[in-house]
Structure 1
Amino acid sequence: MIFELRTYTAEPGRAADFLKLYESMALPLQNKYLGGLVGFYVSEIGPLNQIVHLWRFDSLADREQRRSAMEADPAWQEYRARSKELGALRQQESQILKPTSFSPR
């Protein structure tokens, strides 16, 4: 099992705009194709304007297959275009995390 930790940094004052679009367009598609949403968060203390989400996959191959299927969906392409037009994100980061032998997940 692996986890993907994604951190998006929004333009100041634009996180709510991004989250509204994400919840209405992207989340239903990601739930359909990716499944495995562990959590979705916003920063409260520390670096501000950050949106953090954590996804669980069986393996890197599983992640690749699921993301490829999602990318092929025209509705996902429409979301990506709308997100780009919105211009609410300043930066995106992705980390792949592998649990240790004693991790509960």
Structure 2
Amino acid sequence: MIVEQRTYTLKPLRTRDFLALYERAALPLQKKHLGHLVGFFVSEVGPLNQVVHLWAFDSLAERERRRKAMEEDPLWPDYVNALRELDVILEQETKMLRSVSFSPV
């Protein structure tokens, strides 16, 4: 199993705006196409104004197939355009994490 960890660093005081748009427009599409949402978090200590979400996949090939389907969904460009207009993202980081034999996930 692999877990995609995606971290967005947002403009100060804009996390609530990002989360509202994400929950309304992106989350339903991602749950439909990406599958297993492991968790969705905001930072409390350390670097602030960060949103982190984790998605589990059986393989990189599965992730690629699922992301392609999501990006081809006719509703996905609506979210991307709304996010671009919201103009809140300062930085994005994506990591692929591979579980080890004793990991509970």
Matches within 5 A, 1:5-24: 5-24=5-24
Percent identity for Structure 1 against Structure 2: 61
Q: Name the counterpart of 1:66.
A: 66
Q: Distance in 1 between matches of 2:90 and 2:74?
A: 24
CA distance in 2: counterparts of 1:21 and 1:74, whole angstroms:
17
Instruction: Find runs of 4+ consecutive structure 1 residues off by over 2 angstroms.
Output: none
Question: Which one-letter code corresponds to 2:9 in the other structure?
Answer: T
Unaligned 5+ segments in structure 1 are none
Match of 1:92 in 2: 92
Q: How does 1:15-34 map to 2 (within 5 A)?
A: 15-34=15-34
1:56 aligned counterpart, secondary structure:
strand
Q: What amino acid is aligned across from residue 46 of structure 2 in structure 1?
A: G
How many residue pairs get aligned? The number is 105
Residue in 2 aligned with 1:47? 47
Counterpart mapping for 1:71-86 below 5 A: 71-86=71-86
- After TM superposition, the score normalised by the length of structure 1 is 0.98
Cα offsets for 1:42-89 (capped at 9, x unmatched): 000110000000100010000000000000012111100110110011
SS, match of residue 53 in structure 1 = strand
Taking only aligned residues, the RMSD between alpha carbons, in angstroms, comes to 0.6
Q: CA deviation at 1:104?
A: 1.2
